[in-house]
């Protein structure tokens, strides 16, 4: 994917990426879930302050590179908790087709598997968008996506 999008194989932390890393859009929880998988948190609210989606994606790429240095992470995979509180349709419009494709290609090319995505606190207005996205997924992908999970219910799942 790096060749397709003109990204270096060794990403530099320039001013844009450093700012994205400080945005708190992505972070990794210490430790693992009950199945030994690393948990990456995606904070959608950070999109309000940033217009540089590519730099945010590079910051995620750096985090994924860091955690996939661990063989257990590669073997067991990663769980994503996407906190969608505060997300809006206007924020969704910031996402271009190129941004979406680049993000999908990036995650798909990593050596670890994306085992589960939990979308928590999704605003009601975005439920139809989530339903449309789910309809476009394969059964396997649908099984790995839980939408509108409340934070209090998240602990009940065995990710």
Q: Which among 102, 94, 119, 87 has a CA at the least distance from the CA of 2?
A: 102
Under-70 pLDDT residues of the chain: 155-159
Give the Cα separation of 132 and 5 in Å (integer). 27
Predicted confidence at residue 158, as pLDDT, reads 55
Query: What pLDDT is attached to residue 126?
Result: 82
Max intra-chain CA distance, the chain: 42
At 159 the pLDDT is 46
């Amino acid at each position: 994917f790096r060749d397709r999008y003109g990204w270096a194989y060794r990403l530099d932390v320039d001013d844009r990426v450093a700012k994205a890393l400080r945005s708190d859009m992505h972070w990794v929880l210490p430790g693992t879930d009950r199945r030994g998988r690393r948990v990456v948190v995606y904070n959608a609210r950070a999109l309000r302050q940033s217009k540089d989606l590519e730099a945010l994606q590079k910051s995620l790429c750096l985090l994924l590179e860091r955690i996939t240095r661990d063989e257990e992470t590669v073997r067991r995979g990663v769980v994503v908790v996407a906190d969608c509180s505060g997300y809006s349709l206007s924020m969704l419009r910031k996402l271009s087709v190129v941004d979406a494709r680049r993000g999908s290609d990036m995650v798909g090319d990593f050596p670890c598997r994306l085992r589960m995505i939990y979308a928590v606190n999704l605003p009601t207005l975005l439920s139809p968008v989530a339903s449309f996205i789910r309809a476009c997924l394969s059964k396997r992908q649908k099984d790995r996506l839980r939408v509108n999970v409340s934070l209090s219910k998240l602990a009940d799942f065995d990710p």
